[in-house]
Structure 1
Amino acid sequence: VLLFAVPSSPLAQPWSIIGGNTISALVGVTVAHFVHDPVIASGLAVALAIAAMSFTRSLHPPGGAAALTGVLGGPAVVSAGFLFPFVPVALNSIILVTLGLLFHKLSRRNYPHVHAPVANSHGTADRPPTTRVGFRPEDVDAALAALDESFDIDRDDIERLLRQVELQATVRSHRTLLCRDIMSRDVISVTENATADEARKQLLDHNIRILPVVDAEARLAGAVGLRELTRPTDTVKGVMSKAGTASPDTPAMSLLPALTDGHSHAVVIVDAGRHILGLITQTDLLAAAARVETADRAALKAVA
């Protein structure tokens, strides 16, 4: 159930499943070998299995059942002896994990669950811009220590969740500010067949960092900047990158992740047919956020 329903749980990772089941079964068989009272052996096996899984960082709830099976499994387990934890327990666990890997690959889910750290795109030691304000990783550690509880979620996932909560709260508090309200409407663009020199001239003449690229039907095809134009090419079509897009009715503050990831300098506002309606740059969003903040402070001051 854990493997297929909640694959991001620390309790459902490959080592937890294989290691937890195998170690617990080994504990159960060992206890049964030395303690012949089934009642005492059952309780002792489960307790020791939990301790062993915790020590080896392979905690997996069904491991308790594996330990009990080692004690109460009957003649089949007794005859298998110390082979039982490996065949069938470890073998079946490996098969189960393999099926889980295939299932999640087909369903395009991340398994095994690996936290992808938010790196500084500029290759420096500074933390990414999105993590420099608000709470810090040490705040998460302090909160977990203060609660003194165990949670079925990875510590890094808690941080990701809280940052998403911060973003959603920001978007909600400014939900009336839409992309159409702050976007530039006179957008400079080039066609796919424009030469690199033509695109470079547009970027420099207009002092902009990104140039939307449109196809023959005036639909957005990509974007190009000076960085892309450093690569040899006859036309911009050969070096253009994927353009970030949003609709005019998208809350403007929801563009914060895209415009603070260190890669994107602008988001192209398009209609349902991918025709360009406008453009929002980092400067546009920063100016809008500053105006909103000033207005909020003025409103609070007036109320006070």
Structure 2
Amino acid sequence: MTPFSSPLANWLHSFLPHSMNTRPREWLRAGLGAAVGVLLSTWACHWLFGAGVASHLVGPLAASAVLLFAVSSGALAQPWSIVGSYLVATIVALAVLQVGGASLLSASVAVGLALALMCPLRCLHPPGGAVAFCVVTGGPDVAGLGVGVLTPVLLNALVLLGCALLYNNLTRVRYPKAHAQPAAELHHTQDVAPQQRVGFTAADLDHALEDLGEFVDVTREDLEQIIRATEKHALRRSMGDIRAGQIMSRDVQCATPDTTLEQALRLLEYHHLKALPVLDETRRLVGVVSLIDLLGHSRRAPRSDFLARFGLRRDVPLSKVMSHPVTCVDSNAHVVELIPLLSEQGLHCLPVLEAGELVGIITQTDLIAALHRDLIVHLG
């Protein structure tokens, strides 16, 4: 292809549809939800305000249904987006009607003004423009309601929103999109999480969106999640096929629920460990006891003798102080899945299971050694 035709070919290629990363099951789920939502909303409007009003307002409603059921995680599909946009669009349309009357020009101006107001009010929702257009061009059925047209418009928005809230969550699609919660700060310091000390930060993402300067129908939290997931998959690809079963320690020192605190402390001290898995009589993992658990118990225990001074009464079993349930991994888990568990969640070790049985344990030292070996291989 010649340099002259290459830009033209790229431009023509941009008209082709992009692939959708959704499954047919999701298409059917969204389609059924949209149909039910439009049916119930239109029926309610028809019953309360008549067929004329319902038919004039059903167009924007159907468009909103596509957003609320098919792309419910998008910024344009959130509850305030639909309610706020319908409210703003109706008020703008009524004001334009008073000034310019019902005409194509007035309807177009109403759409533009509604869009301009939706942006600073953070309720951008494309069907809101259609609401403004329909209110201006609705004829006697809509114009006769005057300011009262707000009632059927908001009724449509609220009934459809109620359907989306109920249907999406019943079909295991979380709606509305929850704001990302800050990660728990385990050490109570000013440091950011280890995973965020390298790579991009939230501030970098904000600057990138500002540089783009265009509408992006994705929340900043979703975008950050997508980028971090991409980094994870890229790291997994670059690190090959290192699995938990390859780097775990197999000669695991264990305790039982009846092991005393004194015995546990001696095991930890002798083997230079920070945690002990606790197994029941069937060799099933029921808990983990760490130095932190022992110290935490010592603060609560009476201090009548030397051992009790450190909370280590000989007759106190581990079942009283162990942590449970336990975060575990399968022996087939990729090493990339272990990094956030051992670096961000404050865990010092990860028990490794096969068919529910403990077969090994991975410590932070094991992980560092595996990453070091992988780095040497790549540099070599």
Same fold (TM over 0.5): yes
| Contact map agreement 1:129 1:260 (CA 8 A) in 2 | yes
| Contact map agreement 1:50 1:59 (CA 8 A) in 2 | yes
Structure 2 residue 363 is matched with structure 1 residue 252: no
The residue number in structure 2 matching 1:301 is none
Q: For this pair of structures, how many residues does the alignment match?
A: 296
The residue number in structure 2 matching 1:82 is 147
Matches within 5 A, 1:36-115: 36-85=101-150, 87-113=151-177, 114-115=179-180
Distance 1:98 1:196 in 2: 55
Distance 2:323 2:256 in 1: 11
The residue number in structure 2 matching 1:150 is 215
**Which structure has the larger Rg over C-alpha atoms?**
2
* Change beyond 3 A, Cα 1:156–1:69: same
* Unmatched runs of 5 consecutive residues or more in structure 2: 1-65, 302-315
Instruction: Quote how far apart the aligned CAs of 1:224 are.
Output: 2.7
Instruction: Quote how far apart the aligned CAs of 1:276 are.
Output: 0.8
| Contact map agreement 2:74 2:219 (CA 8 A) in 1 | yes
| Contact map agreement 2:102 2:137 (CA 8 A) in 1 | no
| Contact map agreement 1:119 1:127 (CA 8 A) in 2 | no
| Equivalent of residue 281 in structure 1, options 347, 357, 363 | 363
SS in 2 for 1:55: coil
Distance 1:211 1:98 in 2: 50
* Change beyond 3 A, Cα 1:124–1:83: farther
| Contact map agreement 2:102 2:136 (CA 8 A) in 1 | no
Instruction: Quote how far apart the aligned CAs of 1:262 are.
Output: 3.4
Instruction: Quote how far apart the aligned CAs of 1:255 are.
Output: 1.1
| Contact map agreement 1:224 1:236 (CA 8 A) in 2 | yes
Instruction: Quote how far apart the aligned CAs of 1:280 are.
Output: 1.0
Kindly provide the amino acid, as one letter, of the partner of residue 256 in structure 1: I
The residue number in structure 2 matching 1:20 is 85
Instruction: Quote how far apart the aligned CAs of 1:184 are.
Output: 0.5
SS in 2 for 1:224: strand
Structure 1 vs Structure 2: percent identity of aligned residues?
Answer: 37
SS in 1 for 2:359: strand
Instruction: Quote how far apart the aligned CAs of 1:62 are.
Output: 1.6
Distance 1:188 1:22 in 2: 65
| Contact map agreement 1:49 1:67 (CA 8 A) in 2 | yes
* Change beyond 3 A, Cα 1:112–1:123: farther
Matches within 5 A, 1:1-304: 1-85=66-150, 87-113=151-177, 114-229=179-294, 230-231=296-297, 235-238=317-320, 239-272=322-355, 274-298=356-380
RMSD of aligned residue pairs (Cα, Å) = 2.4
Instruction: Quote how far apart the aligned CAs of 1:133 are.
Output: 0.7
Instruction: Quote how far apart the aligned CAs of 1:90 are.
Output: 2.2
Distance 1:134 1:107 in 2: 36
SS in 2 for 1:263: coil
User: Any idea what the Cα deviations from partners look like across 1:146-198, whole Å, max 9, x if unmatched?
Assistant: 43332111223222221221111111111322212211001122223444444
Distance 2:168 2:262 in 1: 46
Q: Which TM-score applies when normalising by structure 2?
A: 0.71
* Unmatched runs of 5 consecutive residues or more in structure 1: 299-304
